[in-house]
Amino acid sequence: MAGLPKRIIKETERLVADPAPGITALPHEDNLRYFDVTIQGPDGSPFANGVFRAELFLPEEYPMAPPKVRFLTKIYHPNIDKLGRICLDILKDKWSPALQIRTVLLSIQALLSSPNPDDPLATDVAKHYKENEKDAQRVSREWTEKYASA
Amino acid sequence: MKVHVKNWHAIAQWRWDTGAADADDDGEGDVCGICRVPYEGCCPSCKMPGDDCPLIWGECSHVFHMHCLLQWIGTSSSKQQCPMDRRPWVTAERKVDRTNNAR
């Protein structure tokens, strides 16, 4: 593709050659700004042993604007809605061009370990997490087993 | 006509005086934190490194290609903050004025 910024090429090379633990990101051959992503559920979280698929797109303005990331695998998490959209500050108003694809994906992985029901996107899931965390985690584990087993 | 370079002799080398003591470390220390091209290279919108694509120093001690930083500060989402520490960006005058430093 013509005019792919050097920064994107460098980031892609490093993601492929030296991937972050539990994370893969592969660009589409016909659109090098579009990545197929997998994120392993962190150990000790209700998402452990799950492999979650996501898509990541680098808009034309990147790195002045954040990447767009969406989960493709169903996940029961207070900050991720039915459409896979993610509520995470660095993907919105806390974006900085010093962040990278790698740091964004690591932050999303960390979000799986520490759900934040006080800043919900999936309000019903957040309510469940706030009212009965144990039971909500049980559902998260069930969904992980059902939809995210490798 | 085809020209082949058979050999060449380097007679000089230049480097921005970024003020960083560890400018020689091979980590990510000497690249612009925005475009990730070395300071001695140029920002994505320039072709020629050097005085045409200078660096800019912040009071917070962070250094970027000037064009990269100005583009970021020009976006509303930057809130005029340094990309590294999110402190309000204040350009440090002392280094920018001493352009001869770069030669």
Please answer whether residues A113 and B103 qualify as being in contact, where contact means their C-beta atoms are separated by less than 8 angstroms. no
What residues form DSSP beta bridges with B2? none
pLDDT, residue B103, reads 42
Is residue B11 one of the residues assigned to a domain?
no
B46 is a domain residue? yes
Cβ-Cβ contacts under 8 Å, B77 against chain A: 64-65, 93, 95
Decide if A97 and B37 are in contact by the 8 Å CB cutoff.
no
CATH code at B69?
3.30.40.10
Q: Touching check for A13 and chain B: CB below 8 Å?
A: no
Write down the pLDDT at residue A122: 84
Residue A59: what residue type?
P
Q: Which pLDDT value is given to residue B102? A: 47
A100: Cα within 13 Å, side-chain hemisphere: 19
Is it the case that residue B25 has pLDDT exceeding 60?
Answer: no
Tell me which residue of A41, A3, A71 sits closest to A144, measured CA to CA.
Answer: A41
Apex CA A127: angle with CA A125 and CA A128, to 5°? 65
> Per the structure block, which two tokens stand in for B71?
């583009």
Tell me the pLDDT tens digit for each residue of B91-100.
Answer: 997 554 445 5
The torsion angles phi and psi of B93, rounded to 5 degrees, stand at -70, -40
CA distance B48 to B89: 26
Of the pLDDT bands very low, low, confident and very high (cuts 50, 70, 90), residue A119 is confident
What is the overall mean pLDDT for chain A? 94
pLDDT beyond 80 at B53 = yes
Tokens 């001690």 correspond to B61
- Residue B27 has a pLDDT of 54
Confidence band, pLDDT 50/70/90 cuts, at residue A120: confident
What is the per-residue pLDDT across A20-73, written as a single tens digit (0 to 9) for each? 999 999 999 999 999 999 999 999 999 999 999 999 999 999 999 999 999 999
Whether pLDDT at B80 is above 90: yes
Residues belonging to chain B with any Cβ–Cβ distance to chain A shorter than 8 Å: 33-37, 44, 68, 71-72, 75, 77, 81, 83-84, 86
CB-neighbour burial class of residue B69 (10 A; exposed 0-12, middle 13-18, buried 19+): buried
Is B12 domain-assigned?
no
Q: What is the reported pLDDT for B15?
A: 84
Please give the backbone phi and psi of residue B10, each rounded to the nearest 5 degrees, phi first: -75, 130
| Angstrom distances, CA of residue B79 to CA of A61, A150, B45, B71, B76 | 17, 42, 23, 12, 6
**What is the residue-averaged pLDDT of chain B?**
84
Q: Is B64 part of any domain?
A: yes
Determine the structural domain holding residue B81 and report its residue range: 29-94
The count of structural domains within chain B is 1
Residue ranges covered by each domain of chain A: 6-148
Lowest mean pLDDT across A14-18, B27-31, B93-97: B93-97
Where does A6-148 sit in CATH, by number?
Answer: 3.10.110.10
pLDDT at A1 over 50: no
